[in-house]
């Protein structure tokens, strides 16, 4: 487990140059503060779901793993970077990643799937300035195939997508998307695609290389899309 935790903190710097953010207070919640309204619910399987809830009277958020009607664990994180219909959550059998916002910057926190213990965290797009407010961001925040997450980070005049390995926590690659608004995206057959006002760009999930099918066509929208 120690080696896996280091994966969330160390290799990200080597692979993409992402600065590791101070993780701060991040814990299993027992009593106070309290969870408020549900922001989003994401089905993991037929019995389990990840639920994001607002902090009652605060700006932070709660992430819960529910089994049927029972809360298996609950964790408090900084301000949630996703929104209803555009989740900032990805998961694998061992880890849950959560997009958060601190001091105007996009960060990624990782929780162990079995008990929500801290795995690590990193700042996304550290070479850029502050991001746009998540409430006014367009398009997807986090795309996933449950092997990797593809984090779409939006600034006032820039956009970037960063691929994260959900098992090791390594940042695998990042690509600049330019100033055009991101409108949609998805993961289809080994390709992650991003729709912007200027058109669609697709990348191979493992390497981040730009992908164009024979004949110049790109994959049609399919599963895991917004």
In a domain, 213, yes or no: no
Cα angle for residues 149, 154, 157 (degrees, 5° grid): 150
In a domain, 193, yes or no: yes
CATH code where residue 98 lies? 2.40.128.630
CB-CB neighbours of 184 under 10 Å: 17
Cis ω before 33 (30° cut-off from 0)? yes
CA 191 to chain CA centroid, nearest Å:
17
According to the model, what pLDDT value does residue 135 have? Answer: 83
Per-residue tokens: 16: 């993409």
What confidence tens digit (pLDDT) does each residue in 168-200 have? 899 999 999 999 999 999 999 999 999 999 999
According to the model, what pLDDT value does residue 137 have? Answer: 87
Is the full-model pTM beyond 0.75?
yes
According to the model, what pLDDT value does residue 32 have? Answer: 78
Number of domains into which the chain is organized: 1
Return d(Cα 95, Cα 188) in angstroms, integer. 22
Residues facing residue 203 across a β-bridge = 192, 210
Return d(Cα 33, Cα 62) in angstroms, integer. 10
In a domain, 192, yes or no: yes
In a domain, 219, yes or no: no
**φ and ψ of 14, to 5 deg:** -70, -45
According to the model, what pLDDT value does residue 8 have? Answer: 55
According to the model, what pLDDT value does residue 223 have? Answer: 40
In a domain, 217, yes or no: no
CB 193 within 8 A of CB 218: yes
Structural domain for 106, as ranges = 2-204
Place of tokens 């959900």: 166
What confidence tens digit (pLDDT) does each residue in 75-103 have? 999 999 999 889 999 999 999 999 999 99
In a domain, 183, yes or no: yes
In a domain, 225, yes or no: no
Query: H helices within 100-177, ranges in order?
Result: none
């Amino acid at each position: 487990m120690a080696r896996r935790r280091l994966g969330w903190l160390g290799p990200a710097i080597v692979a993409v140059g992402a600065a590791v953010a101070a993780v701060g207070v991040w814990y299993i919640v027992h009593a106070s503060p309290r969870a408020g309204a549900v922001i989003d619910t994401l089905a993991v399987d037929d019995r389990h779901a990840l639920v994001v809830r607002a902090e009652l009277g605060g700006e932070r958020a709660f992430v819960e793993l529910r089994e049927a009607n029972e809360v298996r664990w609950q964790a408090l994180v900084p301000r949630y970077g996703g929104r209803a219909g555009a989740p900032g959550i990805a998961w694998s059998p061992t880890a849950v990643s959560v997009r958060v916002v601190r001091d105007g910057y996009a960060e990624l926190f990782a929780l162990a799937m079995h008990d929500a213990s801290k795995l690590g965290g990193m700042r996304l797009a550290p070479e850029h300035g502050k991001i746009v407010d998540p409430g006014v961001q367009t398009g997807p925040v986090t795309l996933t195939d449950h092997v990797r997450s593809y984090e779409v980070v939006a600034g006032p005049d820039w956009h970037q997508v960063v691929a994260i390995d959900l098992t090791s926590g390594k940042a695998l690659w990042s690509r600049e998307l330019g100033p055009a608004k991101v409108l949609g995206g998805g993961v289809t057959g080994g390709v992650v695609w991003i729709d912007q006002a200027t058109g669609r760009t697709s990348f191979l999930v493992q390497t981040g290389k730009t992908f164009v099918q024979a004949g110049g066509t790109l994959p049609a929208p399919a599963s895991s899309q917004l």
